[in-house]
Every structure is written in structure tokens, then in C-alpha cells.
Chain A
């Protein structure tokens, strides 16, 4: 292998007769001019060609296969005249171009160790293997082997081939936040799972918003070797929004409440004013909604109520007092809350949140998990998570900030640890378009911009990076990019990462589980294959398999059952009907049974005989 053709400080071409180049492999360039250390290069494009078997053009036809086969019979090896070419990007800053003609070789592990392994697997996040380092697997020291097993759909679990890719989370205060981009089926969700597993291994506390109900870590990945298994049950907790966690209404201020209501529907300027006017500190859901209900009634029936108050019809004192209270509300707020319809709209939104059980429970379980350095996964419908997430994140971020500021200024504030916020479908939580209401957008943007000071980091996964708020996108210092097809998303990736044109060209064709990691901390793009996860999503069963296993059509179920009662006939139908109904837990008619038995006769499983006592069905003997 040697350097050929034109060279520059950044890009060179290498040619080889014997060895095809591998995409992304690292090669050592034995340059004498830059002698103190041989520069490393990464293969970014490969080609093989044979000048004796040209492409079909108008001047030359394709060479017939038969001709090549006959030549092969005469001992010709086509490979002997094949030339392999590689475009190599140099991973160092050189002062002058690389000399032409010098040798290129595969480096030894020792030569690139410092370059590729920023940390020990024990203290870093082992996400997968670095592609193109397969040849170096043999020389790997024990602590770097078998730390990132791989998975292939057809072949199952596979050994680690290559040098592990270890993400150095200790660089996060300098280079915070992670983006995971990729279309469906690209391996994005799998990567998020692997990354979260690594967070748990390092006991980094995190709040995970899981709109897909898939991020639980109790079920081990099937067929993993015992040495590779890891139990995360004690390091994570799954909470259901609206059942285990919710928002305490009493803790809301008017602004919080408006944010929340926005998630349930548009909040107009009038509604905004009305809420500002009507909400009082420490209001409970009941006190607030009652106030609105009474005021609505008062506005609607003002004349009626006043008349009732005037009439002395002997009605009870209590009712009059109630009417007075309502009219008092009307008096107080009449000119400040606008029309009745505004109040009604507020009520509707409030009720929707209530029905969704947003105001059920509190966020204490989440806080407890974070304090205990666990990963807390909150599952729920996406809009609920938007509301709850915005609230919790804002609250925790504030507490964390207060604690750290107090630490620095010598003040007093309750302890709160650094933590990580992660979510899939991030473009829903922080959409780029300001038109789309998103309660969590502003807090996520704040964390993106200044979270690193307080040790609060984001992990945002999305299949539509183009729809993610752009200030946030710009702050994601590390991006894992999986297969991406949409041109608008590719455009964002082109702008926001250091992926070269060759890599962007490859993005639409990346295999599932393969990604480019563009990281400001490393300063270059690394091609990575994500390791196999140690856990699986509880509902990863194929929906059609589920249909087959759990939703057996009634006639099939009945048929199965009937076979165990054969022989059957007019003479014993009524004998078995009772037990049969008990077994299948439903009502069954004689007609249904006859019909089912006839089907079985048609399928050739059962045969039908005319007997003295009528028809008899028995299992067909072959």
C-alpha cells in the first residue's frame, strides 16, 4: 500500500494491488517529512478497478462472463490485475502535503491506543465498536475485549470485532449534550437504550421521558452470554404519569398553570388574563375550578340571582348566603375576566387535564430516584409528558441551580445532584417552529445553553433533526447520526456536524445500528457500530405474532377444544355443552358446534358417520 497521485495536507490517495481497503479503517502513513510521528489517516472512500475490464461504454461492450470463465480455466485470476484505491483523510494537522510514493500500513493497536481510547471501559460509556478497526481485534488487551458484543439480525449475538468505542462523559462539562438522529429502523432507539444502560453503569442520575412506553430495563436481552449480562433493576425505576406521578396543583403559580393549560388547547390572551386574575397562591384544583364555575354561573345568571335574593320566599338562609357569595365574585371580577365563553374555555382545558389525571400524585418519586442516583423513566402520552416534563425539569433545574449557587456563595440550599434529561421524539418537546405550543421548549433551551455550568445535560433523540429547535441543535456537542433519508434533515446534519461530504452521502444507506459520531470533544467524526443492548423493551414482540398467540379466532379455539371431546354426535352434545362453555368462558350453541365440526370434516381432520342414533363425528384415522 502506498500513497499515489496528488496529495494535500488533508487528503491523500493510497493504492494497493493485493488488499482491498475497508471503509473507515485507520491507516498509518509512514511519512519521513513529518517524521516525529507518522500521521494517521481514515479511509473515507474506497474503489477497486481493473483497467483491463473496462466499464461498458459506446466504444467497448461488457466482457462476456463466458469469456472470463474460459480465461479463468486457463489460469487467469482477475484479481491479479485489480487495483484498490482509497481516499484517506488525514487525522492530524500537517504543515505540508504528504510525500507521494511513501508506504501506508495498518497500524498496531499500541500505535493508535491513545488516539482511539479516551478512557477505560470501567470509567467511560461503552457504546459500541469503532468501524474499520476490525483487523486490530486480535491485539486488544483483556480489559478492552468482550465489552461490546454486537448483534446482527440474522446471526444473533456476535463477538466484539474491533476496538470499543468509549464515550468520555467526563468531557461533558466542556462539551455538553448529546443528539441522537436517525429515521425509524435506523437503530436510534436501540442506541438510546445502550446509552442509558451506560449511564446506569456509571450511576449517573437521569430523568427519561418515554412517550413510547419502551424504556424499561428489567428484561434481559435474549441469549446474552452470562458474563455479559447486567442487572439494572435496582438502578432504574419506571413511573407512570397520571398514576405514579403527577403535578400538585397547589404548587403551581399562574404562569405554570397557563403553561399547563396550553398543552390541553390554545390559551388566548383573554384566557391568560382571566387566569392571572383568578388564580391565587396555594389554590387547590377544587378551589380554583370552583371559583371559575361559580363565577361563570354568576355571570350567566346575574339578573336571576339578584331577583332571587330580593324575593322573600322563605327559602333558606344558606342559599341566600351562597347567592351573595357568587354575586360578590361577579362584582369583584366582572370587568377583568372578559366574556363567559373565556371562562368556559378555561374550564374545559382544566377538566381535560384533570381527566387525564395530571393532578394526581406528585413528583416526589422522581426526586427520590434522582437523589439516589437512579435512572427514572416516566412513561405517558406525549402531550402529558410535555406538560409534566416541563414542570419537573424546570423545578429540578431551579433546585440544582440554587444548590450550586449557594455552594459557591456560601448560602444555604437543599442538596440536589447533577442530572441528565433524556427523551426520544425530542422535536415534540422542543419544536423549531414557534407556532407549535411546547411547554418544555424554553426550559430545554435554557439547559442547552447554560446547563453545563450546573452539571445538567441533555440527551435528545429524534428522527427529525430539522424540526428540533435550532438553538438546542447547535448546543448538542456530540451527535450520533444514524441512517437519514430526508433531505431537510441531511441539510441540518451537514450544517451542524463535521461530517464530510463522503459521510453525508453514505447516510441514506447506513445499516441499522451503524452511526457516525460527530463530537466536538474528539474533533472528528468516528464511524461506530452500536453494541448489543443488555436489556430489551418489554413489548418488542411483533404485533402479528401477538395476534397469532393472544387473539385466536373463536372458531379455531372452539375447533381445538372440540377435538378433545370426540366422538361427538346428537347423542352427547348436551352432555358436553356445559363443560365446553366453562372451558371457553363464553356461550356456545349446538349450531355453532355442528358448524365447526362440519368445517373440521371439510379439512379432513374429522369424519362424519350416520349411525342409528343420528350423526356421529369422530377423529379420522389414517
Chain B
């Protein structure tokens, strides 16, 4: 085996000392907790979920988990095929018996090419110059978001659930599938279905910015994820004050449901902000303490919806001529044997 280059190690040490300097200068944990309590919201201990409370909350209706997955095949644009699958499963049935939809995107198909061009011209109108690859990537993200929202809507109509869990934050749906998301929002609010976006990787900065502003002498936190790591105690959640609008029209709170010291975030529609206090204990009760912080049901939907490499290969082998596959899609990388 080739020995790791000495130079690379030295470079890494530089990175490490840079980060060390910064973190040494962070405010102390109790100071941050005090600040959070004073300025941001309340730190609430997990209340054990009582079976009666759970029953009252559900009132005989199921819980829905929504997730989607995309798998691409091919390496050189435009010869890349994207396969989508979205799944909304009700807790009263097997995960695999949920509502599922599939879709495919291939930049060479006429419709899809038009879609890419449209994205490019829209961006150009905003003064942005987009490469077709980038535009295609956005189209793919949009399609997946649309598909997920569609199955969620179908599930709400079909199963009359009391709550819908999404894998990921609401900003993504609002940004990528605005029309469908608006429709979903109206439908679910009308039916009194509580929607919750479960965010495993917190990617926002607002909280970090706010807290850093409170400690001008200390180094600023780079993001919310970094700020919240190790701050919440196990089974604790940060009920952000309602008037602090981090995300427009959504309400976000932060929680640490298990042993893992990092935090997860829960998105609610703003109209349902008040329901957070009822639903966070439910989410805690459905989340394995040793896991990643994702409710079990959503984890199962995630596992069921995933398109595996094996499945994809089987699909392509049965649907695409071998010659075409070899000519356009199979990468040399796949032929490697070492």
C-alpha cells in the first residue's frame, strides 16, 4: 500500500489547529443554554408519552411517513437516466403497501429537454447563467419534491391520517414544488392533519447567527448544526419562541431525542405552531434512543422507498438493450475489477 503522503498529514494538522483555535474560543455550554433560554425559547424536558395521550392524539387515525429516492445511471451528460420513487405509507399497513409513485428523467427526451431549457431561461431572466448540467440537476430535485408531495396528498385523501412525517425540511418542498406544496398545505390544514418535517442534517444558519451575536467576544458559530452539538440534554427540546421567525411561514424547533449529542429539527406549518408541544413528545416516543434521531416509521419508509443498485441494474437489464447500455451508460469505472 502506498504510504500516505507526509505533506497531506501536515496539511491536515493545519486544518485541525485552525478549528481547535476557533472552538476553544466558543462560549461555554451553560452560557449558551442560558442564552437560549433567555432569548430564543424554552428548553423542555421530554415528558413520557402516555398511551392515552397517544391514542387521543391519533384518535384512531394512522400516521403517514413520506419519503422519496432517486437513483441515477450513466456518467456523461446528457446520457444519464434518473429513476424516482416516492412513498407515503400509513402506519396501519405494511410499509410496502403505501402509496408509491415512480418517474423517470432523461435529458434527451423532448419534454425533459424543454424542461431544462425552461429552467435555463428562467435563471437567465434573473441574471443567472446556468449550465445545462446544473439545470438538469435542479430539474431532478424538483421532480423528486413534486413526486413526494403528490404521494403525501394522495395519502392524506386516502387514509385520513392525524399526522404526516416528511423526511426533510419544508423549505425544500416550498422551493422546488411551490404549486403542489401550497395545495398540500391547504388540504392538510383543512383536514386538520399535522405535518412535520424531520430534519436530520440541520443546514440552517439563523440560530447560529443569533447566538453568536450575543457573544461578540467569542468566535462565531458557523452553522446551527455546530452550535447545537452537545448543547441539548438527552430528551430535551428547544421550543423556539413563536415570534422568532427563522423560516417564513414555518415554525422550527430543535430536539435531541436520543443518545446522539447532535440535534435534529422539526418543521411545522406556522398555523400549527401550537401543536408542537403535543407532537414533540410523540416524535420522541417514536424515535429509537440509540438511533440517528429519526422516528422509526420514517426510517422504515426510507428503507422501503430506496432504489438499490441491484434493483436498478435489474430494471435496466430488462428495459434497455444491452448494446445501447454499453454504448451510452456503462462507465469504465464499473468495469474496474480491482
Contacts and interface: CB of A to CB of B under 8 A. Distances in A.
Contacts of B289: 61, 64
B296 A71 contact: yes
Interface stretch (B21-29, B87-95, B107-115): B87-95
Interface string B210-246: 0000000000000000000000000000000000000
A67 interface: yes
Contact of A68 (B92, B291, B296): B296
Interface in A25-83: 51-52, 60-64, 66-68, 70-71, 73-77, 80-81
B92 A70 contact: no
B174 interface: no
B286 A70 contact: yes
A248 B212 CA distance: 111
Q: Which 4 A-B pairs have the closest CB atoms?
A: A61-B290, A75-B92, A80-B94, A52-B300
B291 A60 contact: yes
A51 to B, nearest CB: 7
B263 interface: no
A70 B92 CA distance: 12
A77 B291 CA distance: 21
Contact of A75 (B91, B285, B304): B91
6 contacts: A52-B95, A61-B288, A71-B297, A73-B54, A74-B62, A76-B92
Nearest to B92: A75
A52 to B, nearest CB: 4
A63 B62 contact: no
A67 B285 contact: yes
A74 B291 contact: no
B300 A81 contact: yes
Chain B's interface size range is 20 to 34
Nearest to A63: B288
A51 B303 contact: yes
A74 B58 contact: yes
A70 B96 contact: no
Nearest to A50: B300
A76 B286 contact: no
Interface of A: 51-52, 60-64, 66-68, 70-71, 73-77, 80-81
B63 interface: yes
A67 B94 CA distance: 16
B93 A73 contact: no
A284 B12 CA distance: 104
Contacts of B285: 66-67, 70
B288 A64 contact: yes
Contacts of A51: 303
Contacts of B20: none
A70 B54 contact: yes
B81 interface: no
A234 B297 CA distance: 70
Nearest to A72: B91
B296 to A, nearest CB: 5
B253 to A, nearest CB: 20
B292 to A, nearest CB: 9
Contacts of A80: 93-94, 97
Given A64-B290, A70-B282, A71-B286, 20 more contacts: A51-B303, A52-B299, A52-B300, A61-B289, A62-B288, A66-B285, A67-B285, A67-B287, A67-B296, A68-B296, A70-B286, A71-B296, A73-B58, A74-B58, A74-B62, A75-B90, A75-B92, A76-B91, A77-B94, A80-B94
A52 B92 contact: no
Contacts of A64: 288-290
A159 to B, nearest CB: 36
Given A52-B303, A60-B291, A61-B288, A74 B296 contact: no
B43 interface: no
Nearest to A52: B300
Given A64-B288, A74-B58, A81 B96 contact: yes
Most buried by B among A51, A62, A77, A81: A81
A52 B303 CA distance: 7
Contacts of A63: 288, 291, 296
A67 B257 CA distance: 12
A61 B289 CA distance: 8
A61 B291 contact: yes
Contacts of A62: 288, 290
Interface in B37-64: 49, 51, 54-55, 58, 62-63
Interface string B297-308: 101100110000
Interface centre among A51, A61, A66, A74 (most CB of B within 10 A): A74
Nearest to A64: B288
Nearest to A70: B285
A70 B95 contact: no
Contact of A81 (B51, B58, B95, B287): B95
Contacts of B62: 74-75
A541 B6 CA distance: 81
Contacts of B304: 52
Contacts of A67: 285-288, 296
Contact of B91 (A52, A60, A61, A74): A74
A80 to B, nearest CB: 4
A486 to B, nearest CB: 42
A60 B303 CA distance: 13
Nearest to A61: B290
A622 to B, nearest CB: 50
A67 B287 CA distance: 6
A77 B94 CA distance: 7
Given A52-B303, A81-B95, A81-B300, A74 B63 contact: yes
Contacts of A75: 62, 90-92
Contacts of A77: 94
Contacts of A60: 291
B288 A81 contact: no
Interface in B292-334: 296-297, 299-300, 303-304
B256 to A, nearest CB: 15
